[in-house]
Amino acid sequence: MAATAAPTPVIKVAALCGSLRKGSYNRGLLRAAKDLSKSISGLEIEYVDISPLPFLNTDLEVNGTYPPVVEAFRQKILAADSILFASPEYNYSVTGPLKNAIDWASRPPNVWAAKAAAVVSTGGGFGGGRSQYHLRQIGVYLDLHFINKPEFFLNAFQPPAKFDSDGNLIDDAAKAKLKDVLLSLYAFTLRLQGKCA
C-alpha cells in the first residue's frame, strides 16, 4: 500500500502597506507578492488595509475594549501566522500610518507576539532600507521575528522601469527576488511554529 503524502501546511500572511497613497509602489509590491504566492503551495496572503484606523488614543479604549475598526484589525493580525510589511522610508524611519497600526496591535494583549515577519520596500536611493532597519528594531519589543535573508530593497526610479503607471511591479528580476522573500518567510514561519519546512 502506497503512503500518502502529508498535506502542505498552510501559512496565512497578513500584508500591511505603510503608504496610504492609491498608486503606492509599496502597495504594488504587496499586489505582486499576492500574485506570486499563488505559485507557492501553502502560502496565502491577505492585504490588510490600515487606512481606516484612527490615531492611537487610549481614550478610545473603554473597559478593555477597542473601537470596532481597531478590533477588526487586531483580529486579522492575531489570525495570521506571519506578517509581510511593505513601507516607504519617511525621515529615515517607518511611516506614521504604519507606526500607528503597529501601536494599536501592540496594545494589551500584544497580537504581534511570536509571529514571523518579513519586510520589503521600494523608493529612491536605498529603496527604503533605513525604514526596514528601524522596523526590525521595533519588532524586537513586539516579539516579532523577522527573516534575515534575503533582504529586499528596490530603487523604484533606476532604469529599467520597475513599475507601470498604476504602481504594478513589472520588473522580472525584482519579482524573482520578491518570491525568494516569500519562500524564506514560509519556511521560517514553519520552523518558528515547530513544523518542518
Number of H helices, E strands in the chain: 5, 6
pLDDT at 1 over 80: no
- Tens of pLDDT, residue by residue over 14-35, are 999 999 998 999 999 999 999 9
Helix (H, G, I), strand (E, B) or coil at 98: helix
Q: Which residues in 103-116 are b (16+ Cβ under 10 Å) and which e? A: ebbbeeebbbeebb
pLDDT, tens digit (0-9, with 9 covering 90-100), for 62-116: 988 999 999 999 999 999 999 999 999 999 899 999 999 999 999 999 999 999 9
